[in-house]
Amino acid sequence: MILHGHLLTDPFARPSPGWVRVADGRIAEVRITGESPPGDDEAIGGPGRLISPGFIDAHTHPPQFGAVGCDGLPLLDWLERVVYPAESWWGRGAAGPMMRAAVRSMLTEGTLGFAGFLTSHGRAAREAIAALERPGSPRAVVGRVAMDREAPDDLTAEDRWRAGQQPAPSVVAADSTSRRVKVSVNPRFAPACSEELLAECGWAARDRPGLIVQTHLAESPDELALVRRLFPDDEHYTAIYDRFGLLGPSTLLAHGVHLSDVEWRLIAQRGCVVVHCPTANVFLGAGLFDLDAARAHGVRLALGSDIAAGPDAAMPRVARAMIETAKTRRLTVAPGAHVPSPAEAWSLITRGAADALGWADAGRIEVGAAADLLVLRPPDSWFDEHLVGRLIYGWSPGLIEQRIVDGRPADPATI
């Protein structure tokens, strides 16, 4: 298979004309040239097309895709009244069909890889993972949610049951048989986990080097107050995760809106990734992420849609929200705030997100990389230094002419 057009190999530079040859699910050849590719009649793309890496969403919740748009509630009330009922439904036999629906939504918007939370139900986790193993599905790292308190019984029952078994079943879901689906350990957030459960999650991370840890951190002021009540002896929120061995280079910390300087330093020292979720932070009124603090401490970043707190699965629009959040901070509370360029934001939904997930072979157009690619047809043929900005600010899934997943054309309608 050959993809032909302008190649977006670097969002900080103008795309160059050329073509990509794909074989066995990998990029086998990249040519920067104005000449037609061999077998031009059969090539996908052509003049006026842009070949881009697929987008990667570093934080989302597939069980919540049906709960988008339930507005007007702060985080803790929203969890109780919207999210927990949605996740209970997922656990009652709906996981397979709902995962396929979430995958269709992601593919429609060009998301070809993601990190996500399932629910606390072991059987539903297995059904969801089986759905992700179908051909044409995005590459994924997903985890059964660990939680044993501060939530309805049907969401905490499994971990409370596990705690009474000898030996206790693993807190981590069973591994997938697919090379493109990996499991993670996902303590929901500290308030939903007893100290015993957090310790168990930490042991799992220690026993399996490289295992991704996904959790939430410092999203809202009310959450911080709850954490102080439940963990009165810890210096700060981040210290709780550190105490149980949950901070490291494979840790994805979603949000990080309300962090002290001490916490930023600890996160940087442990090499964690903070996943900025700008659309979700605004939707729930949680706050404006301090990008300058992250940059000052050298903290690794990625971007997440955080469906359903985030109302939009389109990662270019999440990238736009990142830029607009920084502009809002500069206009209001931080006059000298750094505003990321469109290229910076685009990088965090492609190569940067892949690096955050430990996917050194994703999010890029390079020989040997996974062939998870988009063929785009921009509304104009100006392949200049402003192209990425025009895509971010004018994004529509109608710009996607073809999705290549694992080296094969993929149609969301067939998932």
Q: Identify the domain boundary among 357, 375, 393.
A: 357
Alpha carbons 186 and 100: distance in angstroms, whole number: 21
Is residue 192 one of the residues assigned to a domain?
Answer: yes
Walk along the chain (415 residues) in steps of 10 and give the mean pLDDT of each run: 97 96 98 86 90 99 97 96 96 95 98 99 97 97 98 97 89 92 98 98 96 99 98 98 99 99 99 99 98 99 98 98 99 97 98 98 98 95 89 97 98 94
**CATH at 46:** 2.30.40.10
Is residue 415 one of the residues assigned to a domain?
Answer: no
Is residue 123 one of the residues assigned to a domain?
Answer: yes
Q: Identify the domain boundary among 357, 372, 394.
A: 357
Report the mean per-residue pLDDT for the chain.
97
Contacts of 174 (CB under 8 A, 6+ apart): 126, 129, 183
Task: Retrieve residue 181's tokens.
Answer: 């689906």
Task: Retrieve residue 256's tokens.
Answer: 């990080």
pLDDT at 49: 96
Q: Quick one: 138 and 114 in the same domain?
A: yes
Q: Quick one: 264 and 386 in the same domain?
A: no
Q: Quick one: 143 and 221 in the same domain?
A: yes
DSSP state of 346: H
pLDDT at 178: 94
DSSP state of 149: S
pLDDT digits (tens, 9 = 90+) for 81-131: 999 999 999 999 999 999 999 999 999 999 999 999 999 999 999 999 999
User: Which residue range forms the structural domain that includes residue 396?
Assistant: 2-53+364-410
Is residue 109 one of the residues assigned to a domain?
Answer: yes
Is residue 22 one of the residues assigned to a domain?
Answer: yes
For residue 328, the cross-strand partners are none
Chain center to CA of 132: 15
Is beta strand 2-7 parallel, antiparallel or unpaired with respect to 44-53?
Answer: parallel
Q: Quick one: 19 and 86 in the same domain?
A: no
Alpha carbons 189 and 370: distance in angstroms, whole number: 32
Alpha carbons 200 and 121: distance in angstroms, whole number: 17
DSSP assignment of 187-226:
E--GGGS-HHHHHHHHHHHHHSTT--EEEEES--HHHHHH
Q: Quick one: 24 and 128 in the same domain?
A: no
**CATH at 179:** 3.20.20.140
Ranges of beta strands (E only) in 257-399 are: 273-276, 300-303, 373-376
Q: Quick one: 394 and 349 in the same domain?
A: no
Task: Retrieve residue 81's tokens.
Answer: 């009244």
pLDDT at 42: 79
Q: Quick one: 266 and 369 in the same domain?
A: no
Q: Quick one: 328 and 379 in the same domain?
A: no
- Integer CA distances (angstroms), 31 to 39, 264, 299, in order: 14, 42, 34
pLDDT at 382: 79
Q: Quick one: 289 and 373 in the same domain?
A: no
Q: Identify the domain boundary among 332, 357, 382.
A: 357
Chain center to CA of 403: 19
Domain count, the chain: 2
CB contact at 8 A, 299 and 263: no
Q: Quick one: 316 and 387 in the same domain?
A: no
Q: Quick one: 232 and 136 in the same domain?
A: yes
Task: Find where tokens 């105490």 sit.
Answer: 243
Is residue 146 one of the residues assigned to a domain?
Answer: yes
pLDDT at 188: 99
Q: Quick one: 42 and 101 in the same domain?
A: no
